[in-house]
Chains A and B, each alone.
With several copies, the nearest count.
Chain A
Amino acid sequence: MKKIINNPENYLKEMLEGIYIAHQDQVTCVNDDLQCYVTKNKTPGKVGISTGGGSGHLPLFLGYVGDGMLDGCAVGDVFQSPSAEQMFEITKDIDQGAGVLYIYGNYNGDIFNFDMATEMADFEENIQVTTVLGADDVASAGPSAPGEKSTRRGVAGIFFVYKCAGAAAAKMYDLETVTRIAQKAADNVRTMGVALSACVVPRVGKAGFSIEENEMEIGMGIHGETGIRRGQLESADQITEEMMQQILADLPYVEGDEVAVLVNGLGATPLDEQYIVTRKIDAILKEKGIKAYRYYVGEYATALEMSGVSISLLKVDEELKPLIDYPVNTPFFKQM
């Protein structure tokens, strides 16, 4: 384990202290619980949006709390869900009188806890809460049958759900509308990733799996979950082609569509390589007659020091485009 840390038991606490120090003008915590992370900027009548999930994915999840995006985030320990009580405390803090939307990734632990928190918010405070799950990882399972719950994991594509829902809330739409828009974004985003190396949970101290020097794993999850194919490392163009094929076929995205594209680094992969992938994505989209409405490139959802990238496509229409374009100002992500 090669990390710049102190006692692994203090990893979360010290990381959060650093974040609150650096960004004290914009964010704070509820009831002195560092794991209850909220924006300082409230707007009466605005729908509150909260997220939550395990740490180890910065800037996901807390990095999207700020103007034009989210209001709060329950922060779990590395790769672990925060607790229902923490989610509930945040819900009370960010309710600005118009109800609260939960947007989080499709993981058991998070679902169980957000469900408990929803019950608490209903019973104890009469706050209306709705939920939209991020379940964008094409590699993690087949598409779900109509009416069935998706078994797909949520990965980087949740960024687009935050982006659209956050802009809708900032425009003072009501809870029903913000929820509908979030669900629409979730329904129209697909992601696929590739991993080149493992990552180490600080308290575990060693990698939970390994990838050989000449290998890659297509479709690996952001906690190291098994992907769809382990094989010889290929060229950037080949890897991009394989991932794009799976993504494009899934929704499917077709000629004439417009998409917002997120090229996301998993942690150790230089930006250089992410742009080499971007170049190939653009060539593939052009060939298919799909228009790239906007590109986001960089680290948006990481897996500690894992190396690799993921690609997310969001199909946009006239309702989503202005929401994608809406300005954002969080300590970790800004758009003008």
Chain B
Amino acid sequence: MLQDMKRYLEVVANIMQENKDTLIEMDQIVGDGDLGLTMSDGFRAAYLAVKDTDEQDLGKLVYAGGKAMASAVPSTMGTLMASGLMQAGKDLRNQNELTNENWVQFFDSFEAGVINRGKANVGEKTFIDGIDPAVQVLKENIELPLAQLASKASKAARQGYEQTATMIAKHGRAATRGEASRDLLDPGAYVAVLLFEAFEISVKG
């Protein structure tokens, strides 16, 4: 049911809205403080672009959400998240159900899209360090009931996020802090945590 993807994007939009101030504060420590605004506006735009569509192709639906997000919030994370959605959309072309396989594909492609645009590797204190462990867990546990799968992935994302407090930033504004960036948690990785918390909530029913 494509309804599930719409519902997921709605929960994401809401959770970003709820965490707006947290993201602003986290980003103010390392960057310019815009992350709360871009994530809540951007995922809201993605959701609004698909909310009322009759589109039956899962891929096209997700791609449309990504394009809307790209235009709405062309910031670093905005463009990266848009690139993630657009890549997922391309790879889910011609699908019209949300099987476990397609959910795993969604997050796997999302990560690939972000890496393609941003060229960051695991361990460089970015969003990738939040999403990558979760995607591994999804792939390894694809046979589990969806709610369990989501909750396992969500835990992995949070652990990945917590690991960022041991890394040196190599990308974006935080990178200019060098060694001084080490003790800080990465706000982009926290966005990955929120994406999987939303996944957990949306599949719980």
Residues on A facing B (Cβ under 8 Å): 76, 79-86, 107-109, 112-113, 115-116, 140-141, 151, 153, 201, 203-204, 208-209, 221, 223-226
Contact = CB atoms under 8 A, between A and B. Distances in A.
B177 interface: yes
Overall SS of chain B's interface: helix
Contacts of A221: 173, 176
A115 B119 CA distance: 12
Contacts of A223: 31-32, 173
23 contacts: A76-B74, A79-B32, A81-B75, A83-B74, A107-B76, A108-B171, A109-B74, A109-B76, A109-B79, A112-B79, A112-B118, A116-B117, A140-B176, A151-B175, A201-B33, A204-B24, A208-B33, A221-B173, A223-B32, A224-B32, A225-B31, A225-B32, A226-B176
Overall SS of chain A's interface: loop
Contact of A208 (B32, B76, B178): B32
B118 A108 contact: yes
B32 A203 contact: no
A84 B24 CA distance: 24
B153 interface: no
Nearest to A151: B175
B173 A225 contact: yes
Nearest to B25: A208
Q: Which residue, B24, B34, B175, has most C-beta atoms of chain A within 10 A? A: B34
Contacts of A79: 32, 34
A141 B174 CA distance: 11
Contact of B79 (A116, A151, A203, A225): A116
Contacts of B176: 140-141, 151, 153, 221, 225-226
A82 B177 CA distance: 25
Contact of B70 (A80, A83, A203, A208): A83
A112 B82 CA distance: 11
A82 B70 CA distance: 10
Interface residues of B, number: 28
A112 B175 CA distance: 16
Contacts of A83: 70-71, 74
Interface of B: 24, 28, 31-34, 37-38, 70-71, 73-76, 78-80, 83, 117-118, 171-173, 175-178, 180
A295 to B, nearest CB: 29
Given A153-B173, A201-B32, A208-B33, 20 more contacts: A79-B34, A80-B34, A80-B73, A81-B74, A84-B70, A84-B74, A85-B70, A108-B118, A109-B75, A112-B76, A112-B83, A113-B74, A116-B70, A116-B117, A141-B175, A201-B34, A204-B37, A221-B173, A223-B31, A225-B176
Contacts of A113: 74, 79
Contacts of A225: 31-32, 173, 176
A80 B75 contact: yes
A204 B33 contact: yes
B117 A112 contact: yes
Contacts of B38: 80
Contacts of B118: 108, 112
Contacts of B73: 80
Nearest to B67: A85
CB-CB nearest 8 A-B residue pairs: A83-B74, A109-B76, A108-B76, A208-B33, A208-B28, A112-B79, A223-B32, A81-B74
Contacts of B78: 80, 109
Q: Which residue, A85, A140, A204, has most C-beta atoms of chain B within 10 A? A: A204
B103 to A, nearest CB: 26
Nearest to B117: A112
B99 to A, nearest CB: 31
Contacts of B31: 223, 225
B37 A203 contact: yes
Nearest to B78: A109
Contacts of B34: 79-80, 201, 204
